[in-house]
Structure 1
Amino acid sequence: MPSNSPKATHPHPVTELCPEGERLYASALSAGRVARAEIESAPCLLEFALLHPDPDDADWLRPVPPSVVLSQRLQPIEREIHDRRELSGELTAAFQPFMAISAQMPATTHAITVLEGGGRIKAALDKAIAESRTEVLTVQPGGGRSEHLLIEALERSRPLIERGISMRTLYQHTVRYSQNTFAYMDKMAGARVEIRTLEELIERLIICDHDVAFIPAQAGDSIALELRHPGLVQYLINVFDHMWRRATPLQEDVSYESTPEGITGVQRSIAKLLIEGHVDEAIARRLGMNVRTCRAHIAKIAAALGSGSRAQLGYLIARSGMLEQDS
C-alpha cells in the first residue's frame, strides 16, 4: 500500500530545496530554532541534515549552519574530483610513450564514419564538396526531384562551377518528364556538368575526387556512411563509370523499340521485374516512378497479352519472348 507520510510524496535533491523547506530553514536560522511540528510539511530538512534535535527540548529543532552543511556535501565531491585527477595523470603517463611513437607516423583517417541526422550528413557533404579539386560524381535514383531539392543542389554546386570542377550525375529515365530537371540544366549551362539517365540505378551515391564517398546506411535519409578507404572509394568509382558508359545523355532521346504487341521499353523493364517476383511498390521504386503509374503500365501489359490474372501474366510474358529484346 502507498505510504501516506509526507516524506513519500516529497522527493527532491538537496540542490533544489522545496519552497516550504527554504522558508522554514531560513526561519530557523533567524530564530535559532523551529518547532518540530512545523516541519511536517518539509521532511526534507531532517533528511538532508539541515536541522538537528534541540538537546534541551525534544519539541524543537535547531538549524545546522549552512557552512557546515555545504562542507559536508562538498567533501565527497572534492574527494572524487581528486581521485579523477589522479587517474587522469596516471592514464596520461601510461600513454605518453605511445603518443611519442604515434606522432612520428603519417596521419590516418577513419575509413568508415557513421553520420546520423540530416544536419550532420549535410555538414559532412558540404565540407567534402567544398574541398573537392577535380570531379564530383553523384547517383540520384528516383523520379524527378522537387524544386527545393534542385535549388539546394544548385547552391551546393555553385562553388564547384566557379572553381571549374566537373560534375557527372546519373538519374533515372523518368526525370526526362520533369520540367524542374531541365530548368536546373538551363541554370547550369556553360558549367562542366553532365547528366545521363538509366532505367534502373543503385542507391544514392556521392563521390568527391578519389577521396571520399557517401552512401545510405539504411532506408531513408537519416543515416549515411562516409567512406574514406581508398579501395572502397575506387570500387565505387568503377561502379559509377560502368553505369555511366551504359547511360544515355539527357539531351539525347532514349530509343525504345516497341514489341509487336505495342509494349514499350519501360513496360519491358516492368515485365522483367514482374518475372523476377518483385511487387508493384518495389518495381516503382527501382524505376523511379510512382506506384499508380507503375500499375497503369502493368495493366497495359496485361491487356496487350490478354492476361486475366497476375499469375497468368507472368506465364504470358515469358511465352511472348518480349524480354529477349533486352538480352
Structure 2
Amino acid sequence: MQPLTGSEALVTLLDALRRRTVRELRLALPGKPYDRGVLQQAAQLSAELVRRGAQVRVLHVTDASRDRAYAEGTRRIAASGARMRELPYLPVWMAVADRDFAIVQSDPGLEGADATLLRGRTLVGVHRALFDQVWARSGGPGPAAPAEREPLDEREREALVLLAEGLTDEGISRRTGLSVRTIRRTIAGVMTRMGAQSRFQAGAEAARRQWI
C-alpha cells in the first residue's frame, strides 16, 4: 500500500494509467472529495482506454445538477464510450485497473482523507468484487425497484441521509448534536444489518432499497 496526498498525486497517477496496458477500468465517482482536475483526468483516461479497446465501467451519482463541474465531467466520460450506471448515493471514490492496481480513499468518513494505492490481487480483488456487486445491483437504466420495508429508526435514517449529502462523521455530529462516536456506531450498525462490508456498499444498498 502507498499513501497518496492530495488531488495532484491522484491526477498524476491517473495520467500514468494512460501509458499502461489496461484492459478493464472500474471507476466509482461520488461528487466529493476530489477536485475538478481529478474528474477531468478521469475523463481523459476513459477516452484513451476506450479508444484502445479497454472496457471502462463507471458508477456515478444520479443528481449532480447542483455541481456543474461534476455533471460536465460525467457527461464527458459517457461520451467517451464508457458504460455508465447511476445511483442516488456513492460514498467512496475508487479506481480499479485490471486485477492488481487500485486507488481508494484511506478513510471515507474523514474529510480530506488521503487516498491509498493498492497493488496485488488480494487487496485489489476485494474492491473489484465490491464494485461488481454494486454494479450488478444498480441494474442500469429502467424503473426503480419497489421500496423495501425500512427497518431504520429516526437516528439511523438521518445519519444515512446526511452521509448521502456528503457530510463527514464530524459534520453529521454537528448537525445532529450527537457525538462522533455515536454517529460511527449508528452507521456501523446499519452496515451490519444490511451485511455491508463498507460504507460504499451500505450507501449503495440503502439507495437501492429506497431508504434514503
SS at match of 2:10: helix
| Selected match of 2:161 from 280, 283, 287 | 283
Moved more, 196-205 or 147-156: 147-156
- Give the equivalent residue in structure 2 for 1:169: 58
Partner of 2:119: 228
Q: Is the 8 A contact 2:61 2:86 kept in 1?
A: yes
Structure 2 SS opposite 1:131: coil
1:153 deviates by: 2.9
The equivalent residue for 1:156 is 45
For 2:24 and 2:129, locate their aligned partners in 1 and report how far apart those are by CA, in whole Å: 14
Cα deviation code 1:139-183 (max 9, x no counterpart): 11238x987665443223232122121211111332378776675
**Mapped partners of 2:80, 2:156: distance in 1:** 41
In 2 relative to 1, CA 186–172 (structure 1 residues): closer, same or farther, beyond 3 Å? closer
The SS at the match of 2:53 is: coil
The one-letter code matched in structure 2 to 1:287 is: A
Instruction: Give the Cα separation in 2 of the matches to 1:119 and 1:181.
Output: 17
Q: Report the TM-score, using the length of structure 2 for normalisation.
A: 0.60
Of structures 1 and 2, the one scoring higher in RCO (CA 8 A, sep 6+) is 2
1:133 CA displacement: 2.1
- Does structure 1 conserve the Cα–Cα contact (< 8 Å) formed by 2:15 and 2:41? no
Gapped regions of structure 2 (runs ≥ 5): 168-208
| C-alpha distance 118-222 of structure 1, shift in aligned 2 (>3 A) | farther
Structure 2 equivalent of residue 244 of structure 1: 135
Give the whole-Å Cα distance in 2 for the aligned partners of 1:235 and 1:118: 24
Listed as ranges, the matches of 1:43-192 within 5 Å are: 112-142=1-31, 150-175=39-64, 187=76, 191-192=80-81
Query: Percent same amino acid at aligned positions?
Result: 20
Structure 1 or 2: more helix by fraction: 1
C-alpha distance in structure 2 between counterparts of 1:211 and 1:126, whole Å: 17
Larger Rg: 1
How many residues are paired up? 166
Match of 1:197 in 2: 86
TM-score (structure 1 length as normaliser): 0.41
